[in-house]
């Protein structure tokens, strides 16, 4: 038995509980980070006659919104929130600009780390710190529903940190 393993840390129920939390929190961070690179574009397609399945003979077109991903689409937060933060004196531009720049990549990195089991304790802690930082911003603009959601995320992270000694199926478990 290593210094991190005890008979208590080999409890299979707690191992499964930790794996579920690790999976959920990892997927949540990863997908949220990826979504920062999404945009909606509108393309025109020929109108299809539902009875024949053929293009409308008149040449009518319809606009179809499609979701696309790309580095050029990166937006850490919606413009409406950026505008609200710009009016908040406790959030100066020199502080928010770097945060906006790294938010998506950091979420992706922490999500991958957690899903792969790379330094799970550290990645959980850093996710908690990130959610606390996001909470501060939401408190300042009085977005109480978002604050509550982030509070739930922080509780899940705290629970996962309390179960991290049951971490299995990981690449690097030391940190």
State the pTM of this model: 0.81
- Which pair of structure tokens corresponds to residue 57? 């003979």
Nearest residue to 131 (alpha-carbon basis) of 168, 159, 106, 166: 106
44 sits in the region (left: phi over 0; alpha: psi -120 to 50; else beta) called beta
38-46 and 61-69 strand pairing:
antiparallel
Quick check: 123 and 130 in contact, CB under 8 A?
Answer: no
User: Which residues make Cβ contacts (< 8 Å) with residue 107, sequence separation at least 6?
Assistant: 29, 30, 32, 33, 36, 130
Name the band, by pLDDT with cuts 50, 70 and 90, for residue 33.
very high
Interatomic CA distance for residues 135 and 157, integer angstroms: 14
Section 54-62 average pLDDT: 80
Q: What is the pLDDT of residues 67-102, one digit of tens each?
A: 999 999 999 988 888 888 888 888 888 888 899 999
* pLDDT attached to residue 63: 86
CA angle in degrees (0–180, nearest 5) for 61-65-71: 130
Give the chain's radius of gyration (CA, Å): 22
- Which pair of structure tokens corresponds to residue 108? 């992706």
- Which pair of structure tokens corresponds to residue 103? 């938010």
Nearest residue to 174 (alpha-carbon basis) of 117, 115, 111, 109: 117
Q: What is the pLDDT of residues 99-126, one digit of tens each?
A: 999 999 999 999 999 999 999 999 999 9
């Amino acid at each position: 038995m290593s210094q991190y393993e005890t008979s208590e840390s080999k409890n299979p129920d707690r191992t499964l509980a930790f794996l579920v939390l690790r999976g959920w929190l990892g997927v949540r961070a990863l997908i949220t980070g990826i979504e920062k690179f999404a945009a909606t574009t509108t393309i025109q397609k020929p109108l299809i006659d539902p009875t024949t399945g053929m293009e409308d003979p008149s040449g009518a077109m319809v606009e179809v919104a499609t979701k696309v991903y790309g580095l050029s689409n990166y937006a850490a937060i919606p413009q409406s929130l950026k505008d609200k933060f710009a009016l908040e004196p406790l959030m100066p531009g020199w502080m928010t600009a770097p945060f906006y720049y790294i938010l998506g990549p950091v979420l992706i990195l922490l999500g991958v780390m957690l899903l792969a089991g790379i330094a799970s304790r550290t990645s959980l802690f850093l996710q908690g710190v990130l959610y606390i930082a996001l909470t501060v911003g939401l408190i300042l603009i009085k977005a109480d529903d978002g604050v509550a959601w982030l509070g739930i995320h922080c509780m899940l992270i705290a629970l996962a940190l309390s179960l991290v000694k049951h971490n299995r199926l990981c690449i690097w478990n030391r940190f």
